[in-house]
Amino acid sequence: MAQTILVCGAGPGVSRAVARRFGRAGHPVALVARNPQRLEGAVEELSGEGLQVRAFPADLADITSLGRVVEDVRAALGPIGILHWNAFLDVEGGLLEAPLSDLTGSFELRVTAYIAAVRACLPDLEASRGAVLATCGIMLLDDPRVDAFAIGYGALAIGVAAQHKATGILAQTLAPRGVYVGEVIVNGFIEGTPGGVGKSPTVAPAAIAEAFRELYEARREHSVIIGEAVAV
């Protein structure tokens, strides 16, 4: 039987598409996010497509709750073979305007909670030679064109860059333990989400989910870029 995928930061865009793609491949799906009503809507939608899905409401910024979430998922759906990290704080503004609390909160969710989730899942991931899959954004790149694009999104950009570095280090750390780490870098706004409304160019969530599936199955590359918002 395919191992459970734990989707952290479940919403209507990338995470929903990832849940659908991996669920169709036979993986039981655990959805984690703060809003119980939205989670139940996602469970109803995906269950209606014949997928095995459960909701686990939790505030991922509260790292003390991550161990409990992992235990609850394991008890309900079995060992966790894939951790998909899609959690982020929707912060706006440049580095000189954004509240400093937003900078701290973004880092804590994108990096501290991310690492805490990996640690909590690690026994299962090692036992199954599983995978960690992380969604990230193009503003992580150290490139003058990207930095110019990111001026109005500085608060978001530095959190994205920190998560990318954490993912790269995790890839090297976990490879000897048989755990694969993969990252899809989204170069554009997510189609069909509030952040993508009125923006161009957009990237389809299904295309991102397919990129994750290809990384997971091949287990060779650790990072791919999808989309064309910034020429890189």
pLDDT of residue 229: 81
User: What's the length of the chain?
Assistant: 232
Q: CA–CA separation, 232 vs 227, rounded Å?
A: 10
The answer to whether the beta carbons of residues 102 and 155 sit under 8 Å apart is yes
pLDDT of residue 221: 96
- Say whether domain 4-226 belongs to CATH 3.40.50.720: yes
What global pTM score does this model have? Answer: 0.94
Question: Of the candidates 68, 86, 71, which has an alpha carbon nearest to the alpha carbon of residue 22?
Answer: 86
Q: What residue segments make up the domains of the chain, in order of their start? A: 4-226
Q: What is the pLDDT along the chain (232 residues), one digit of tens a residue?
A: 689 999 999 999 999 999 999 999 999 999 999 999 999 999 999 999 999 999 999 999 999 989 999 999 999 999 999 999 999 998 989 999 999 999 999 999 999 999 999 999 999 999 999 999 999 999 999 999 999 989 999 999 999 999 999 999 999 999 999 999 999 999 998 987 666 555 667 899 999 999 999 999 999 999 999 998 887 7
pLDDT of residue 189: 85
The pair of three-digit structure tokens given for residue 11, joined into one six-digit string = 């919403």
pLDDT of residue 198: 59
The answer to whether the beta carbons of residues 231 and 145 sit under 8 Å apart is yes
pLDDT of residue 230: 82
